[in-house]
Structure 1
Amino acid sequence: MSGRFIDRVEPLLRLVPTVPKPKVALSMSSRLLWTFLALTAYMVLSITPLYGVNVAQAAPLFNPLIAVIFASQSGTMAELGIGPIIIAGIIMELLAFSDIMNIDMEDPNDQMRFNAFTKLVAVIIAFGEGAIMIAAGQLGVITPSLAFIVWLQLVFGAVIVILLDDMVSKGWGIGSGISLFILISIIRTVFWDTFSPIIPPGQVLPLGVVPAIAVGSYVAAVDHTLAALSSIIYRIGYPSLVGLVATLVLGGLVLYVELMEVSIPMVLTQYGGYKISYPFKVMYVSVLPIIFTAYTVALIYNGLYFLATTYNAHASNALLNAIACVHQISLNGQLTTAPCTSSLLYFLQSTPLQLTPQFVVVHIVLYALLSVVYAYLWVNLAGMGPEDQAKTIAESGWHIPGFRSSTRVIARYLERYINALTLTSGLIAGVVAALGDVMGVFGTGIGLILLVEIVIQYYSLAMQEQLFEMYPMLKRFAGKL
């Protein structure tokens, strides 16, 4: 055990800032207060501009889709959002499940080291990500003298978010900081797209759909023309009526699918053949595959866009034209740079300025295929495959009626279910995310899935806490299971 890597780096892990667990279990009201304070601190970071950065020139983190997932706010202390935490968590989970780190997750000491190591990796990622953003011009033009100061601000904001997540997750708050920050980020985006009274440059109607409908209706009543009102139906680059309807419809569909389960009958022989139904969610792999998909597409798009603007700025190379081509188009009376509709770059956009039927088809197919591929990879790497599930069931003393109580037999039986659920969940996540891009869903399609999942999670936690407060002995019993 002494030769393990995590044991050798333990002295370094002690230097990682952390939040201690509460000495006694806090009441529901106290946890709600700490949750509110953590949320307030994050909101303060998300509205505090970075010194030395022109907020108007700052671009979203990679693209608006990734910005929503990472709860990032452009040009603020929350520019990196929870990105470093999510990336570090994924890396550490893969290392742990693949036994590369040789960690016993049932050992409290190993759990503490694992969590500390995850935070250390998150801080390292924040250092690197902040430097890359500045070097790539993601925050606009920054003078060399201010670059170091901006970099320190990005890292400082990321460390505060890491500690806030640590505080909420260790029992001071409710749920996890990651879920909390994603939830408030998506809700704020949806609320802003629905009710914002701000009129964007070059527009005559407010940004929010509800104020835009009110102004459009007033113009229609005064000028007896429906031009302004009809323009709200679908606005490229801005919230629209189609986006609002799609948000409600897809949100209801995602909620319905999230609550769907496939139950497999099980028997516990040692207690007289007690029967239960072992549930598997239809959204078996949740949103992780589509997060990987969006991240992959965003990285490829940024690379090709750099290639187009740097080496093919005049669209003179025929080969590059088919891969990465940009041109000037008129949008709302202003010239702007956009990918050529005939190039691969065009189909990798999240929200195109020129919507074509080809984009709709290719975008949906691309997201669906990548999401399914990542779903299968994640299931096999993260300990969610048939063998892993069968091992858990067999060790618990359960078996499938009519089959031998063997891990191999149970795995063979579960294989068809898990493979089908992996395909279904990956496909649903990919299609919903792509439709969100095409139809202008508020908060993006991925954000909508996350919103529904987190709301269900917090609802379950609230019901559980209420039950534990009514029956304290039940909490003690659950803690021993």
Structure 2
Amino acid sequence: LIIGLFNWNISAFTGFPAGFIPLWVELIRTGAITSIRNVMIDGQVLALISTIVIFCIVVYFEGMRVEIPLSHQMVRGARGRYPIKLIYASVLPIILVSTLQAVIQMIGMQLWHSGVPLIGNNALIGAYSAVSPTEPISGLMYYLNPINSPYDWIPSLVAERFHMLGAIPPDGWQIVLRFVINVVFFIIGGIIFAIFWVEVSNMNSEAVANQIHRSGLQIPGFRRDPLTLKKRLDNYIPKITVLSGALIGGLALFSSLFGLIGGISGTGMLLAVGIAYRLYEEMASQQMMEMYPFMRRFFGEE
């Protein structure tokens, strides 16, 4: 994001500085502002708005949670809450989705430049531009290529980009199909990897119930038993896990549709905001444990 704001390097695509602030200095100096499209897309105003909107949405969603009341069996009057956040699986699932996309594209590039019989240099699998060897221009790899800016899904901008790549622009239905595949890939992939991440990171109902039980906490009005806790948590965690994966996938795709400052991906933006929010939560957690030392057992700190 910082580089995206202050980068003075000249972009080969536009001929202007790549950073937002240097770009506008140059646009104003040269009088190159000629149209709304010039301001919103080439001037990165749309990317700036998209960055701010995504930042606010992610912070808002990070703060949304279901809180399960807890009480301590040994300390009368000591009560707390176990928060189950809306973005329960964090942004790790969408990182895995993006990694999978990158691996698929890498395989496609290797096949296009290889001499493997049938699948090597096969345009049906994926043909790549001679101008930009990492840019698929047709075949299966074109549809699986992630959308990163308006130049990937707005027909007039897609045509402009393909002309610069020295390739024939895709038809409208091909652009729509690529868009739909990206939506399905991000949302379904986000759900699958969210479930996977919750299971392998001990964030599922059973693991959380055992953690609460070992800490000496219980849900008021319920028997202090891990199975009872698990049944209660089963009402929330599995559903929120699926919703979390779909939501993160949708946010990552939405942020990529309009571009972001610095040309970062939607996944990178979500990761940056997530890290900042986790740092804030860690500071709050440390402060809470200083005020209530018995909570150290719950967080695994003896």
Question: What TM-score do you get using the length of structure 1 for normalisation?
Answer: 0.50
Q: Is 2:93 aligned against 1:289?
A: yes
Correspondences of 1:122-201 after superposition (within 5 Å):
190-201=1-12
**CA offsets per residue over residues 300-332 of structure 1, 9 Å max, x none?**
11001211232499xx98x9434323345xxxx
Measured after TM superposition, the shift of residue 214 of structure 1 is 3.3
Q: Does residue 215 of the first structure (1) align with residue 26 of the second (2)?
A: yes
After superposition, the Cα gap between the structure-2 partners of 1:246 and 1:458, relative to the gap in structure 1 and judged at 3 Å, is: same
Structure 1 position 282, deviation (Å): 1.7
- Partner in structure 1 of residue 161 of structure 2: none
Cα pair distance change 1:386/1:441, threshold 3 Å: same
Deviation at 1:201, TM superposition (A): 3.0
Percent identity between the two aligned chains: 24
Describe the superposition over 1:32-90 as per-residue Cα deviations: whole angstroms up to 9, x where unpaired.
xxxxxxxxxxxxxxxxxxxxxxxxxxxxxxxxxxxxxxxxxxxxxxxxxxxxxxxxxxx
The code of the aligned residue for 2:6 comes to: F
Distance 2:140 2:11 in 1: 29
**Aligned partner of 2:233 among 414, 429, 440:** 414
Is 1:358 equivalent to 2:182 in the alignment? no
1:271 partner SS: coil
RCO (CA 8 Å, sep 6+): is it higher in 1 or 2?
Answer: 2
State the secondary structure of the residue aligned to 1:231. Answer: helix
What one-letter code is carried by the residue in structure 1 that aligns with 2:231? R
User: Out of 439, 454, 457, which is 2:278 matched to?
Assistant: 457
State the 1:369 CA deviation. 0.9
Partner letter of residue 290 of structure 1? I
Please list the CA deviations of residues 7-28 of structure 1 after superposition, one character each: whole Å capped at 9, or x if unmatched: xxxxxxxxxxxxxxxxxxxxxx
| Separation in structure 2 between the aligned mates of residue 462 and residue 404 of structure 1, nearest angstrom | 33
**Do the aligned partners of 1:301 and 1:349 also contact (CA within 8 Å) in 2?**
no
1:446 aligned residue: 267
Counterpart of 1:268? 72
Change (3 A) 1:369 1:409: same
> Residue 285 of structure 1: SS of its match in structure 2?
coil
1 CA distance for matches of 2:184 and 2:273?
Answer: 24
User: Relative to 1, partners in 2 of residues 1:260 and 1:451: Cα closer, same or farther, differing over 3 Å?
Assistant: same
Please report how far the alpha carbon of residue 232 of structure 1 lies from its aligned counterpart in structure 2 after TM superposition: 4.5
Residues 275 and 251 from structure 1, CA distance in 2 versus in 1: closer, same or farther, beyond 3 angstroms? same
Amino acid at match of 1:205: F
Change (3 A) 1:456 1:302: same
Corresponding residue of 1:230: 37
> Following the alignment from structure 2 to structure 1, what is the Cα–Cα distance between the partners of residues 13 and 233?
57
Q: 1:192 to 1:233 in 2, by over 3 A?
A: same
**Counterpart of 2:123 in 1: which secondary structure?**
helix
CA contact (8 A) 2:126 2:136 kept: yes
CA distance in 1, matches of 2:75, 2:251: 44
CA distance in 2, matches of 1:475, 1:387: 25
For 1:277 and 1:403, the matched residues in 2 are separated by: 15
Cα distance in 2 between the residues matched to 1:217 and 1:358: 39
Kindly report the root-mean-square deviation, in angstroms, between the aligned alpha carbons of the 2 structures. Answer: 3.4
Contact 2:105 2:141 in 1 (8 A): no
Q: Structure 2 matches for 1:261-410, cutoff 5 A?
A: 261-272=65-76, 274-311=78-115, 320-328=122-130, 335-337=131-133, 338-349=135-146, 351=148, 354-355=152-153, 356-410=175-229
Residue-by-residue CA offset, 1:377-418 (whole Å, 9 max, x unaligned):
111122111111111112223222343322122112111210
Give me the TM-score of the superposition, normalised by structure 2. Answer: 0.76
Give distance in 2, aligned partners of 1:434 and 1:390.
34
Number of corresponding residues: 272
Question: Are the aligned partners of 1:290 and 1:433 in contact in 2 as well (CA < 8 Å)?
Answer: yes
CA contact (8 A) 2:46 2:258 kept: yes
Q: Secondary structure at the match of 1:405?
A: coil
Residues 346-402 of structure 1 deviation map (CA, whole Å, 9 limit, x = unaligned): 423353764334333321221111111011011112211111111111222322234
Gaps of 5+ in 2: 154-174
Q: Distance in 2 between matches of 1:201 and 1:278?
A: 51
> CA separation of 1:402/1:312 partners in 2, compared to 1, >3 Å: closer, same or farther?
same
Structure 1 stretches of 5 or more lacking a match?
Answer: 1-189, 329-334
Residues 412-454 of structure 1 deviation map (CA, whole Å, 9 limit, x = unaligned): 2111210122112212221222223322123322222222232
Residue 204 (1) aligns with residue 8 (2):
no
Partners of 1:464 and 1:310 in 2: how far apart?
53
Go from structure 1 to structure 2 and tell me whether the alpha carbon gap of 1:380 and 1:201 turns closer, same or farther (over 3 Å shift). closer
Shift of 1:193: 1.5
- Counterpart among 231, 242, 251 of residue 46 in structure 2: 242
* Aligned residue runs from structure 1 range 88-107, under 5 A: none
Contact 2:70 2:79 in 1 (8 A): yes
Letter in 2 for 1:198: N
Does 1:254 find its partner at 2:58?
A: yes
> Secondary structure, in 3 states, of the residue corresponding to 1:323?
coil
C-alpha contact (below 8 Å) 2:123/2:138 kept by paired residues: no
